[in-house]
Amino acid sequence: MSSGDLFQTETAAPEPLAERVRPQTLDDVLGQDHLTGAEAPLRKLIETDQIPSMIFWGPPGSGKTTLARVIANTTQCRFGLFSAVTSGVKEVRQVIARAAEEKKLGRRTILFIDEIHRFNRAQQDAFLPHMENGTIILIGATTENPSFEVNAALLSRARVFILNALDAVVIKGLLRKVADATGVSEDRIGEDALELITGNAEGDARRAINTLETVAAAANANGAPLTAELITEVLGSKSLLYDKSGEEHYNLISALHKSLRGSDPHATLYWVARMLASGEHPHYILRRMIRFASEDIGNADPRALSISLAARESYDFLGSPEGDLAIAQAAVYLATAPKSNAVYKAYGAANDDVQNHPNLPVPKHIRNAPTGLMKDLGYGAGYAYDHDSEHGYVPQDYLPDNLSGREYYLPTESGYEKNISALMDWWRELRESGALENGDATP
């Protein structure tokens, strides 16, 4: 049992059901056998009281805080529960000071930081020296990928343990187990109700238990059975998992981008609808679509860019929800358009040359020559005006001498780029054959 809690407080209000039924031992923890099973490394560390600094990474309701509390119940360390949402620099200093005093007395302190990703880089860095000198053992919980949200220095000093979303079988079994605590006997809960609560939970045990507690209160008010209809009436439409600053935000936009690139209009519509329903700002989706039109379609269908811009204009004029359809229409167009990243690659190659050769001189024949002195220096000399030629094309060098002959844009045979490719081939033939001088070339 923990020898003390650094943040003991009086609790006047009744605890929520999820708190009352929270597992107290490793054997009570459900759905994380890879961490709490008999031979699991984490279990051995806990049972031998050899707790390292750790990061628990998992979705909401997967058991991160529960595992921390189980550690509190089994370790001989002092234990502090700390929230990155409600605590600031003052609280950090206080807990470090108390941990330092405990260290002088030969007692270790485990500091559990819930939602550690909410701390900025400087706040996370503040824990490093105290982890290194043994003042605290840090256990952080996060729903976000620690590779992105936890400082590399802190991450290198902690072991990462991944918790999985609980599967439907585990959630349903948990609901049956705690049903009596709600005052609703299991025989009053229909199978369809369990299925609905489980589906709504999406692997989140806390959400499932809170839902059960809420609808049980409604059922108990009139002695009615707990049915799917009652759940729908009480809960309304369920919220969607989305954090516009977190990993799921980037997962969804990645799914949309890849569905567009993969020419799947069905998946494209799903991800657009999912993001809009979850509260993503339409302008963010539109910006990504405009980027996609240039990056992944390019000149295979030049209309894709104007259609994406028109969708933005339509949305700005109509607003939601009417303007959402313009986004969907443009997204389907992008998904079904021919694809080419030739312009994207060409610009990247040109930019590489600019970075490697930033100050190559402009060839004299294409320099601006607004003054007599510049003309005397040869600026503009030898330039041939293309419109004066029969075919509107004169072969001449436009790149710096060091890059003469460099080819960046290599059009594909996709969509309109097939026409561009044919035209560029014709120009190449004119250059190589000298047909322009003979006046007999035709496209």
Q: Is the pLDDT of residue 238 over 60?
A: no
Cα separation, 82 vs 139, in Å, equals 10
Residue 195 sits in the same domain as residue 330: no
Instruction: Report residue 401 as tokens.
Output: 């001498």
Residue 28 sits in the same domain as residue 153: yes
Specify if 418 maps to a domain: yes
Specify if 348 maps to a domain: no
Specify if 260 maps to a domain: yes
Residue 428 sits in the same domain as residue 378: yes
Q: Do 201 and 171 form a contact (C-beta atoms < 8 A)? A: yes
Residue 28 sits in the same domain as residue 145: yes
Please report, for the domain that includes residue 208, its CATH number: 1.10.8.60
CA nearest to 413, candidates 339, 355, 305, 327: 339
Residue 144 sits in the same domain as residue 257: no
Q: What is the pLDDT of residues 14-64, one digit of tens each?
A: 688 888 888 989 999 999 999 999 999 999 999 998 899 999 999 889 999
Band (pLDDT 50/70/90 cuts) for residue 198 is: confident
Residue 38 sits in the same domain as residue 146: yes
Specify if 345 maps to a domain: no
Residue 143 sits in the same domain as residue 37: yes
Cα separation, 269 vs 172, in Å, equals 32
- In this prediction the pTM is 0.59
**Among 207, 235, 263, which residue terminates a domain?**
235
Residue 29 sits in the same domain as residue 158: yes
Q: What's residue 440's pLDDT?
A: 44
Please list the alpha-helical segments (H only) found in 202-302. Answer: 205-222, 228-235, 247-261, 265-277, 282-292
Residue 308 sits in the same domain as residue 172: no
Where in 50-163 does DSSP place strands (E)?
Answer: 54-57, 78-83, 109-114, 137-142, 159-162
Please report, for the domain that includes residue 379, its CATH number: 1.10.3710
Q: Do 141 and 54 form a contact (C-beta atoms < 8 A)? A: no
Q: How many domains does the chain have?
A: 4
Q: What's residue 246's pLDDT?
A: 64
Q: Is the pLDDT of residue 162 over 80?
A: yes
pLDDT over 90, % of the chain = 46
Q: Is the pLDDT of residue 144 over 50?
A: yes
**Among 235, 265, 288, which residue terminates a domain?**
235
Specify if 352 maps to a domain: no
Band (pLDDT 50/70/90 cuts) for residue 313 is: very high
107 φ, ψ to 5°? -110, 135
Please report, for the domain that includes residue 316, its CATH number: 1.20.272.10
**Among 235, 258, 286, which residue terminates a domain?**
235
Specify if 92 maps to a domain: yes
Q: Which residues contact 321 (CB under 8 A, 6 or more apart)?
A: none
**DSSP structural state of residue 239:** P
Residue 154 sits in the same domain as residue 121: yes
- Its domain, for residue 22, covers 17-162
Q: What is the pLDDT of residues 338-386, one digit of tens each?
A: 999 999 999 999 999 999 998 999 999 999 888 888 787 888 888 888 8
Sign of CA dihedral 320, 323, 328, 331: negative
Specify if 351 maps to a domain: no
Mean pLDDT to the nearest integer, 295-304: 97
Specify if 12 maps to a domain: no
Calculate Rg over the CA atoms of the chain.
32
Residue 30 sits in the same domain as residue 158: yes
Q: What's residue 305's pLDDT?
A: 97
Residue 150 sits in the same domain as residue 26: yes
CA nearest to 55, candidates 133, 163, 127, 134: 163
Please report, for the domain that includes residue 32, its CATH number: 3.40.50.300
As a whole number, the mean pLDDT across the chain is 86
